[in-house]
């Protein structure tokens, strides 16, 4: 975790010598599940992200930001109760921008890297609508708030005028941390997402 935040700090410092900078605001949906025993996806959740990217004297760029995403799944071992965890996430991605067309208004930007996340809310819902907190050890549903893993995405951007444009992003995140506190259970998050957004170039 310390190394991750060290890399974030390096990215922020590098902004002072960057050739170009870009800020994006994106909204969309996520479709998540838990990789573990007897689990399955159970629906869509919102995703909101504000990202910041820097480029130098090449098409390579570095990207970070902050994102809110909900991850919803069903653990069959707990009586088929839907489970929801709402995370705040910080990604750190390295990507490459391919210009499309003669005018270069479109670009395709694959990127990959890592993320860390903090679960600020988590609960299970029983058949009559009652909620049971995940981060309260008293309930018996013991989960860690922190998660971290790998991320990959591809973004299509359209620059419609100098200094701005739109984008469409498809991505996948695979948690590597075990979010279960139960000693004999291993649970890892998995999430696909799609967002649309607006970008500003500096």
According to DSSP, the residues that pair with 172 across neighbouring strands are 152, 192
Tell me the whole-structure pTM to 2 decimals.
0.84
- Tell me what pLDDT residue 159 has: 83
Structure tokens at 9: 């700090």
Q: How confident is the model at residue 169 (pLDDT cuts 50, 70, 90)?
A: very high
Distance CA 155, CA 109 (A): 5
- Tell me what pLDDT residue 14 has: 52
- Whether pLDDT at 4 is above 70: no
Q: What is the pLDDT of residues 79-130, one digit of tens each?
A: 677 888 999 999 999 999 998 877 778 999 999 999 999 999 998 887 777 8
- Tell me what pLDDT residue 10 has: 53
- Tell me what pLDDT residue 200 has: 87
Q: How confident is the model at residue 132 (pLDDT cuts 50, 70, 90)?
A: confident
- Whether pLDDT at 202 is above 90: no
2-201 sits in which CATH class?
Answer: mainly beta
- Whether pLDDT at 181 is above 80: yes
């Amino acid at each position: 975790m310390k190394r991750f935040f060290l890399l974030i700090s390096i990215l922020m410092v590098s902004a002072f010598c960057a050739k170009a900078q870009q800020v994006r605001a994106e909204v969309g949906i996520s479709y998540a599940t838990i990789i573990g025993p007897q689990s399955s996806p159970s629906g869509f959740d919102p995703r909101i992200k504000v990202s910041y990217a820097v480029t130098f004297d090449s098409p390579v760029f570095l990207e970070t930001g902050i994102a809110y995403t909900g991850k919803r799944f069903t653990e069959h071992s707990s009586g088929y109760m839907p489970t929801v965890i709402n995370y705040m996430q910080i990604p750190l991605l390295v990507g490459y921008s391919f210009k499309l067309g003669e005018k270069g208004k479109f670009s395709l930007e694959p990127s990959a890297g890592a993320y860390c996340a903090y679960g600020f809310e988590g609960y299970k819902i029983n058949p009559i609508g009652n909620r049971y907190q995940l981060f309260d050890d008293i309930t018996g549903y013991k989960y860690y708030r922190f998660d971290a893993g790998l991320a990959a995405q591809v973004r299509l951007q359209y620059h419609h005028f100098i200094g701005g444009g739109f984008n469409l992003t498809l991505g996948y995140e695979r948690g590597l941390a075990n979010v279960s506190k139960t000693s004999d259970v291993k649970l890892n998050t998995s999430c696909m997402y799609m967002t649309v957004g607006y970008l500003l170039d500096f």
